Amino acid sequence: MSIRQPILTRRHFLAGSAALGLSTALPGCATRYDQAAPIVFVHGNGDTAALWHTTFWRWESNGFDTDRLFAIDFPYPLARSVDATYQAYRSSSTDQREQLAAFVAEAKRRTGAPKVVLVGSSRGGNAIRNYIKNGGGAAHVSHAILCGTPNHGVLVSDKALVGSEFNGASPFLRQLNDGPTEVVPGLAWMTTRSDNADKFAQPDGAALGMPGQPTGVTAEGPALKGAKDVVLAGLDHREVAFHPKAFAAIWEFVMGSAPATTGISAESSPLLNGKVNDIVRGAGTNMPVAGAVVEVYETDPKTGARRVMVHKQTTGEDGYWGPFRASSRATYEFVVITPDHPTTHIYRSPFARSSQILHLRPGVLTDKDKAAASSVTISRPRGYFGAARGDIVTFDGQPGPGIPPGIPVNSTSTLLLPAGTAQRSVVCRFNDEVIAVQSWPVADNRVVIAELHY
């Protein structure tokens, strides 16, 4: 089975840029960096390019040219159980290395830049290291920044995860870490990591489903000999890539000084677009879905009730559902209708800026969900929920289910409304972000997701 290469087109990707080289000033705004090295963002295991959209907004808010920011969307983002053994709808470390190489080449062609900056979250760092060391990437990369990457594995074992690229004893990681230094010379390296809140950098295997078993890994697991090591205290596995503090650290490493802001400057009428990505056998892919119907409704921010339909489109072969001109003051419901998945209602808080990587995946209904009147999930793609650090996760003011004490390990919380409950408003909250939804009935094969930006 061949793996389709990610395609980089103007329609598909927004841009901005990283700071190396010349800059020009724009009247009435911050310095604009439009001749800098482009940045290529690389998502993690099972993820999509969409996770980077708030990161893009921060780069743009500091004056970066949109056309110099790129995010790869690996077709099959989940790693194989055994890296060297074919597994349907999953990718090997070699697959991702080759796809990243092609993506970087296209980003360079589009911008005319001699080199790019690579920024990877979690597994994305594996692809970056493999490309630089084994795929000729050292000649094309100026900076490599690895955020929460399990550079020494999520465990070191000859009994568990044997052959996985996430095992520190695997041939893959052993060869990457071989030598007196663990980085390839000739470019600048940085790692960002948590002090103790990364679920995949723990001495105990509880987060891996092996409580009480030592992993052979510590909080220092993502650090590399030869790289600048930045510790972001209290942040979780995903936040060390997507949090404003992570943005500030990355900007300063590339630019040499702190960003003007870690906030996001709003546009009045952002332009939005993205793909509908497929789910196969319960596993998320980034393969486009043709023939999906996407409806977008402006909603009442207090109740989630529909005010008016503002967009409707059936996807073509490329899976794209837009473009759609939004308001940065409005809340929205995205409805994804496909023949092979539940009708999925995705509610979002206002979009501050434009994005072309707002990819949508249909939801799934478990047997447990199907016994309820409605299934409503709060989803945080760019971080986890941490009760111990005081995160507030509530449905209608009541604590969200499934958030254990201790380190942050879950990025979703699901409320199952009991059978017989009528459709109603549910107010979902994570700290300062509040999204009101409607509880559509499971009996009609519908699932509800409140997807957080931050």
pLDDT at residue 62 is higher than 80: yes
Residue 73 is predicted with a pLDDT of: 98
Q: What is the token pair recorded at 203?
A: 């001495």
pLDDT tens-digit map of 149-182: 999 999 999 999 999 999 999 999 999 999 899 9
Q: Is the pLDDT of residue 407 over 80?
A: yes
| Residue 327, CA distances (Å) to 65, 95, 276, 290, 332 in order | 22, 39, 21, 27, 10
pLDDT at 135: 98
pLDDT of residue 28: 33
> Which pLDDT band, with edges at 50, 70 and 90, does 118 fall under?
very high
The yes-or-no verdict on residue 426 having pLDDT over 70 is: yes
Confidence (pLDDT) at 258 = 96
Query: Which pLDDT belongs to residue 282?
Result: 77
Sign of CA dihedral 154, 156, 160, 166: positive
Which pLDDT belongs to residue 33?
Answer: 82
Confidence category of residue 34, pLDDT binned at 50, 70, 90: confident
Tell me the β-bridge partners of 295: 312, 335
Residue type, 49: A
pLDDT higher than threshold 80 for residue 53? yes
pLDDT at 35: 77
Amino acid at 161: L
* Mean pLDDT across 445-452: 98
Is the model's pLDDT at 7 over the cut of 80? no
Residue pair 323/351 in contact by the 8 Å Cβ criterion: no
Q: How confident is the model at residue 24 (pLDDT cuts 50, 70, 90)?
A: very low
Q: What is the dihedral of CA 342, 347, 351, 355, to 10 degrees?
A: -10
Cα torsion angle, 126, 128, 132, 134, sign: positive
Token couple for 310: 């503002």
Average pLDDT rounded to a whole number, residues 114-122: 98
Inter-residue contact 360 to 343 (CB < 8 Å)? no
Does residue 13 surpass a pLDDT of 70? no
Q: According to CATH, what is the number of the domain 21-255?
A: 3.40.50.1820
Share of the chain above pLDDT 90, in %: 90
Nearest to 452 by CA among 296, 239, 271: 239
Q: Which among 370, 363, 407 is positioned nearest to 385, based on CA atoms?
A: 407
Which tokens hold the place of 279? 């789910």
Residues 227-238: b if buried by 16+ CB within 10 A, e if exposed:
beebbbebbbbb
pLDDT of residue 257: 93
pLDDT class of 3 with cuts at 50, 70, 90: very low
CATH class given for the domain over 271-451: mainly beta
**Residue ranges of domains in the chain:** 21-255, 271-451
Q: Which two tokens stand for residue 253?
A: 């490493």
Mean pLDDT across the chain? 92
pLDDT exceeds cutoff 70 at 10: no
DSSP calls for 344-406: EEEEEPPP-S-BS---B------HHHHTSSEEEEEE-TT--B-TTTT--EEETTEEPTT--SS
Name which of 2-6, 68-72, 157-161, 319-323 the model is least confident about.
2-6
Worst-scoring range by mean pLDDT, 27-31, 193-197, 350-354? 27-31
